[in-house]
Amino acid sequence: MGVSYIPVARIAELAPGVMKEVDLGGRQVLLTFAEGKYFAFSRQCPHEDADLQSAGQLLNGTKLRCNNHGYCFDLKTGECMLPQGGPPLTVLPTEEKGEDVCIRLEW
């Protein structure tokens, strides 16, 4: 199995509550900083494909709400918390490497 680290931001570049757009080889991902950690997740809502850059709202802690229909996701796991059992949000692991925030890809 291979592992790659894709640098997507500089450490301390993101203020809490900001969502940065990242193009990951043609896939659109958002990166945010919350509770002292970086979270990367699909820009597309798993419910009906809303653009979370505009429809997404970061709530307290590590929750993300899609304002299109009110679904809420846990950025730590991608789990849909409201409604429970809804489609999960795709989340990607991040790691800090030197001065960079990286997305960790495995294949």
CB of 87 to ligand FES, least distance (A): 9
Q: Which is nearer to ligand FES, 38 or 73 (CB)?
A: 73
Q: Which is nearer to ligand FES, 23 or 48 (CB)?
A: 48
CB of 11 to ligand FES, least distance (A): 30
Give every strand in the sheet of 100-106, ordered side by side.
Answer: 3-10, 100-106, 94-97
CB of 66 to ligand FES, least distance (A): 3
Strand duo 37-42 + 91-92: pairing: antiparallel
* Neighbour-count burial for 80-89, b at 16+ CB within 10 Å, e otherwise: beeeeebeeb
Q: Where does this chain bind ligand FES (CB under 6 A)?
A: 45, 47-48, 50, 66, 68-69, 71
Q: Please give the helix or strand (H or E) that residue 54 lies within, else none.
A: helix 52-55
Q: Which is nearer to ligand FES, 9 or 45 (CB)?
A: 45
